[in-house]
Every structure is written in structure tokens, then in C-alpha cells.
Structure 1
Amino acid sequence: MDATTKNKIAEFICGDLKEKHPIYRSSFYLSKFFQEVGINEVHDGSSRNPWTSNLINRLSGVDLQKVIIRLASPKLYGGDREKIQLALRTLNEILMVEGLKISIEGVNPILSKIVPNYNFEETSKEDISKFEFLPPPNFDFLNFEFGLAEILKKRWVEINNCIENDSPIGAIILMGSVLEGILLGMFQKNPRIANSAKNVPKQKDGSVKYFADWTLNEMIDVAHEIGWIQLDVKKFSHVLRDFRNVVHPYHQLSNNFNPDIDTCKISWMVIQASFNDIERWIGSSKSNV
């Protein structure tokens, strides 16, 4: 690894730039960080950046990998999403020149090899490289039936894989399935609230439909009526639902619709906003108990 890259990692650890580094580390916390990853070093009171840079440049490849993995770990930041995203963004800016990329699978950082691309004329690939991978929401917080949260986490990672491989249609179809999974899980967990909605979908005989038979359109409308998602999220969720229909080739043909990286950005934020609204509703309902 180039010395310049190592020096940037050292700067990241020290954390002097708030806009690029999630944590500032004083002398005590520098020592604590290295000891947490199994490197028995104690800061000697000298200037922090040169000391850290010297140490990073002396590390073996194995120890350096431990440092990078720890710097990307959501556990290091206590699950703080803003800090996690900042860490991933800055680390990947540093590591790209070395042909490396750090991503999150579940809560585990994964260091993988990539082909670095600094051909700025290739605008489409440049746009994809700028796409910021959002770590999965805390699906476990929703307390769905066993196994569903894990499926949603894996699909979240698959969405990122589709985007990185320039497959926006695959990404959008998966996003629609994640939104549907979140809403269906909420309905199954809260049947009394869901079935009390005025616009609850019904069979021809007037009986309420089983949740599994609800369309995504019906799920979105009911979720808004009972206060799980706000009006803006409802409207954007319907847009994602329509995007998701590109799973049908004739729908794509008739609408002359060719989704791209910008479509993915919009759609991914819709899922995140839906989760945030539902998370707030759950928190509010608990506080009122």
C-alpha cells in the first residue's frame, strides 16, 4: 500500500477534519483504538498525526486490514447512521486508488478488491462510483417474525450489488420488494389496527382481504391512513411502486421507461423514509403505552 494512502488512514484515525472523519481521537483514545484491534501501542504524548502515521506505516498487511475493518464497523460508531455513512464515504475515497472497497454486510465490514477507475470521461461509471451505499436500517427493531429481518438485510445488500454492477432495473425491483416486505410485516404484526382502516381492501363479498392478497398500492394507502407513513412518503412510495412494475417488460415498453442511477437514488431514499416514519410511529406508540 502506498505511503500516501497510509498517511490518509492515519489522518482518518486522528479525526481532525469533522467533515471527513467521524471521530476525533485524543492521545488516550488513540491508544485505546489500537489496543482494541490487538495492536499493543501506547501514544507517547508526541504530535498525534506523525505518531499515528509512523505506526500505520510499520504495520503488517494483516494488522493494517484489522485497522481498516474496525474503522468501518457500525459498532465503533454505536450504530449512528450519519457517522457510519461518513466513515464509508471517506474510507472508500482513500482506498479506491489501492483497488479496494469497504462495504457493510449486515453489521460486518467487508473489504473487497475492485478495479479503480479514474477515467473521468466515463460519466456513467463515475456517477455509480459516487453513489453512497446506505447501511441497512435496523430491521430487527421492527420485531417481525423470525427470519424476515435477515431476508430484508440481504436484499438491501443485493440492491447495492445491482447498482455497483450497473443493473438499475434489478435494484428497483428489489427496492419494491423491500418496501412491500416492510409494510406486510407491519400489517401482520398489527392486524387490528390495519383492519380498522376505512379503505381496508375487501373481497367481492365484503370481507376483508387476507394481508397476503393485498397489492402494494393498497398497502401504501392503508399505511398512510393509519399514520405509519406521512403524505410525502405515501406519494413517493406510489412512484416506487410504479417503477417496480418494470418487472413486466410490456409495462416498460408502453411507458418507454429506462431507469438509471438517479432513479435508484430516489427509490432508495423512499425506502429509507418509509422505515424512518414507521420507526417513529413505533417509538411514539410505545411511549403512549
Structure 2
Amino acid sequence: MKPLDPLTIERVARLIVDIDGPFERRGYQLTQLLQRAAWPKPEEYDGSPRIPWLTDVLTSSDDPTAVARLLCRICDPLEYDDGLASADLIRQELNTQLAAEHLAVTYVSGRPVLGELGADGHTAVFTVPDDLEARIRPLVSSEDFLQQLMERVTESQICEHHGAYGLAIIGIGSFTEALLLDILTYRDPTLQQGIAPAGGKPVAPERASFALLLDTARARGWIQMDAHDFMAIVREYRNFVHLRKQRERGVVPDRDTVGMCWGPVLAVLNDLETSR
């Protein structure tokens, strides 16, 4: 995501603070919100007027990824006692402010994801984010592995641009599976000795299935249940590496299929970022 215009940032700050509104946040709640959104070194509220304070915090950041996480977080059902009912009201208002930036937050199986507005000006389009490398760098175990992941992403993009949509979605699944395995064993080195399914015996990490990696990330609270569930389609479409699997499903992948796969991947990435 490119940096937001200063006026957009101010409008977002007003929405977040919501003075005298139903979703008003006190100073300490602003600090807590920044912490939940994994804001880099979140500042303690200093007692000054809240909207200018938050505007300054957002403006002073040189990390558009952090801003994107915050935009998603204020639309997250987890933030509100009644869940999606209130979160979606905030999302609709936020999208009004983001329209001039050609951005929109939408829900992918209940998880908020930021995307670019399509040609119709209403539908969010999901693709490889420009800042993907910077986003996953703090999550993975090494720079060498990061570059291998990005090479797989580049290969998927090449396939998509040349109409090889089936190979593109296989590449997206391969990227996500490898990312999950590295993050799991990096965050919890004991998993290098084996990853156990519920009620089962541990298997070597390199033999762990995509489904087991997702289950393990969910069990540790590193991804939310809805993001976990919606990844099933990405996991299944990755199996189109076996042509019979694609024929059994009767799927003919196209550009929309590729975008449909990037959506849940970005939802999982959001959860991994905020849970680190």
C-alpha cells in the first residue's frame, strides 16, 4: 500500500476516535488499539487532544504496512462486543474515506483484508501487495528463505500475466505452505522435532501437510478460525498440481480464481502479523 494522503489520515483518525459517537475511544484505548494492530513501538497516549495525537502518530509512521494493519483492525469483528454488526458499520464508513485512495476493506470469510478498488469502483481486487517482501521479512527465519519465497511469488505472477492461471494458484498455495512451515518452526523451535495432529503422533516438519500446518497455527492462536477455514480453498486448489484433482472438481481457473486465492492468503498474513 502506498502512503495515504494527510487528509485521508486525519479523516481515519476522526473515525477511530469517534468523539461523542457510539464507538468513541479514550486515550488509553487508542494505545491498546495500536498494540493489537501490531503498530511498531506504539506510543503511550500523552493526554493531548486525541484526534491530533492519533493523526500525528499515523503521519509520523514511514511504514504503510502498519497503517494497513490498523485499517483492517478497526474493521475486525474481534474489536467489538457484537462482532460483525458494529465492525461492518465502521468498514462502510472507512471505505467512504478510502475511496479517493482507490482502496477498500472487505471481509474474506469474516477477516478484514485491504484491497485495491477494481474498475467498477466498488469491488476490492486482491493480488500480490507491493510491500509483500517487507511484510514477511520480520516473520521468517532468514533472508535467504525470504528470497526463495519471493521467487515463488514472482513465478506465480509470471504465470498469471501470461494466462497460466492454474500454475499461478499452485504457486500461491506453495508459497503459503512454505511460509507457514517456516513461521511455525521459527516461532516454536520445538516443532522442528515434529508437528503433531490432534490426538496423533508427531510427524517430521517436512512431512507435515498443508492442513496440519494450518491447524497448528490456529491451535496456537496465530491465525483466526475463519481465516483458517477459508484457506481450505487455497489448499485444495494447490492440489491442482495433480491434473486429476482439477478434473474432479471441474474448475477452469481464470484471473478471478487467482484473486480469490490471494484474498484468504492476505487474511492469514494479517493474522500472522498481528500475533507475532
**What is the TM-score with the length of structure 2 in the denominator?**
0.52
Report the residue type matching 2:64 in the other structure.
D
4+ runs deviating over 6 angstroms? 193-198
1:230 pairs with one of 224, 228, 250: 224
2:183 is aligned with 1:169: no
> Which residue is 1:111 aligned to?
none
Instruction: Return the structure number with greater relative CO, CA threshold 8 A, min gap 6.
Output: 2
| C-alpha contact (below 8 Å) 1:201/1:214 kept by paired residues | no
Q: 1:211 to 1:193 in 2, by over 3 A?
A: closer
The alpha-carbon distance between structure 1 residues 192 and 273, as it changes in their structure 2 partners (threshold 3 A), is same
Structure showing greater radius of gyration is: 1
Q: Compute the TM-score of the two structures, normalised by the length of structure 1.
A: 0.50
Name which of 207, 213, 237 aligns with 2:207. Answer: 213
Q: Which residue is 1:109 aligned to?
A: none
Instruction: Extract unaligned runs of 5+ from structure 1.
Output: 1-19, 26-76, 91-129, 283-289
- Residue 224 of structure 1 aligns to a residue in which SS? helix
Deviations 1:226-279 (A, max 9, x none): 111111111111110001111101111122111111211111122211111111
1:191 counterpart residue number: 189
**Counterpart in 2 of 1:16?**
none
Does the CA contact (< 8 Å) of 1:176 and 1:240 recur in 2? yes
Q: How does 1:42-61 map to 2 (within 5 A)?
A: none
Equivalent pair of 1:172/1:267 in contact (CA under 8 Å) = yes
Whether 1:80 and 2:64 are equivalent positions in the alignment is: yes
The aligned length equals 166
CA contact (8 A) 2:169 2:261 kept: yes
Cα 1:132–1:223 shift into 2, 3 Å: closer
Q: What 5-or-longer segments of structure 2 have no aligned partner? A: 8-60, 69-97, 103-124
Give me the whole-angstrom Cα distance separating, in 1, the residues matched to 2:155 and 2:254. Answer: 17
Which residue of structure 1 aligns with residue 151 of structure 2?
154
Structure-2 change in CA distance of 1:261 and 1:217 (3 Å): same
Q: 1:142: which partner in 2? A: 139
Partner of 2:176 in structure 1?
A: 179
Counterpart residue type for residue 134 of structure 1: P
Same amino acid, percent of matched pairs: 24
Q: Is the 8 A contact 1:201 1:209 kept in 2?
A: no
- Correspondent of 2:251 among 226, 251, 257: 257
Aligned mates of 2:128, 2:207 — CA distance in 1: 32
Q: RMSD of aligned C-alpha atoms? A: 3.3
SS, match of residue 137 in structure 2: helix
